[in-house]
Amino acid sequence: MLSAQAPNDTIRVAFIGVGNRGAFLLKHMLNVPGIKVVAICDLDPERLKAAQAAVAAAGGSADAYPEFRKMLDRKDIDAVVIATPVNVHKEMVIAALEVGKHVYSEKPMGLEPEQCRQILTATQSAKGIYQAGFQLRHDPNRNASMKYIKAGGIGKVVFLQGYRHSGDLPHNTPWYFDRSVSGDSIVEQACHIIDLMVWAAGAAPVRAFGSGGINLYKNDPPGRTVMDNYTVIYEFPGDLRFTFSHIFFDPPQFSGIKERVFGADAAIDLATATVITRAGKTEKIPVPDAGQDSTYMSLAAFIANAKGRRTPLNDAESARRSTLTAMMGRKSIYEKRIVEWKEVDV
């Protein structure tokens, strides 16, 4: 059961997973007002020590646990942040929800469509809220851009474009390269941009067709099963298309990352909140909270949502839709055919 909380009570937070991403989340959570980090769980003793030291440096104290279920037995934990490899998201999310905790779980929702459905079902009877780690929804520029689009600022949305071109993923994180653990790069990495475009489209895609593989980094690192390049075309209702490409061998300062929405009257770059009209006029739209970090904003929103029992912007239903969209593209690439939404919407 959830502890009784007045609207302004301190939220007592526990972390499961404090590796690269989890440690980054912890750093930002420690700056969120109205929280106290009281417990840390990780299989790696050195990561546990480092996380405890970070909490101590912020003036707090957190108990360490090598096993998450024992930690979840504590009645004084209100909220849990999960930042583990994707293959254990479902197990940990459902376990935390079942004992009444609020849950912030990193993206993607799961490895396969059925896992997404199971999490969604669990949230529907849960006492706590569920928020997915699609933090770009809380990035000030992207959030302001999306509000501008939804208010009709660029006219009817007619085309979506995204690409993520970079160097390879960090080789010191082996699970990134095992698609049985990560879900492959389109599900584990690209889901952020895919989530933004699903949000812009306002609906699930109808179908997808993609192609990809490993062209440069074959067996690098050894045993690699995730793609190093792919392209997907999604079709949404209303004859709206979204093209997305993702490569891991982009030279520095060559391409980068783009998230663009084209409308009948203008186009907008989500990351910079810059609009260019059909007549060629450039405008930077107003951005509340400009310069704030998207991860901090997402975690602060989670705590506010937990205190107010509010539905998150990135709730279970939106997270499921975006994760399934990534899985739809993955299925098309693997099976070399057009895939319909109904094939993943289980």
Dump pLDDT digits (tens) for 212-230: 999 999 999 999 999 999 9
Q: Where in the chain is the domain with CATH 3.40.50.720?
A: 11-136+295-314
CA atoms within 13 A on the CB side of 84: 23
pLDDT tens per residue across span 61-119: 999 999 999 999 999 999 999 999 999 999 999 999 999 999 999 999 999 999 999 99
Residue 110's pLDDT is: 97
- The answer for residues whose C-beta is within 8 angstroms of residue 261's C-beta and 6 or more apart is 145, 149, 154, 157, 159, 160, 161, 197, 200, 267, 268, 270
Percent of the chain topping pLDDT 90: 97
Task: Kindly report the pTM of this predicted structure.
Answer: 0.95
Question: CATH second-level architecture of 11-136+295-314?
Answer: 3-Layer(aba) Sandwich (3.40)
pLDDT tens per residue across span 275-308: 999 999 999 999 999 999 999 999 999 999 999 9
Please state the rounded mean pLDDT for residues 6-27: 89
User: pLDDT band for position 181 (50/70/90)?
Assistant: very high
Q: Which of 225, 218, 216, 212 is nearest to 183 (CA)?
A: 225
CATH superfamily ID and name for 138-292+324-343: Dihydrodipicolinate Reductase; domain 2 (3.30.360.10)
Q: Where in the chain is the domain with CATH 3.30.360.10?
A: 138-292+324-343
User: pLDDT band for position 9 (50/70/90)?
Assistant: confident
Average pLDDT, the chain: 96
Structure tokens at 17: 């997973």
CA dist., res. 147 & res. 139, Å (int): 12
304 in Cβ contact with 298 (< 8 Å): no
Residue 14's pLDDT is: 98
Q: What type of residue is 138?
A: H
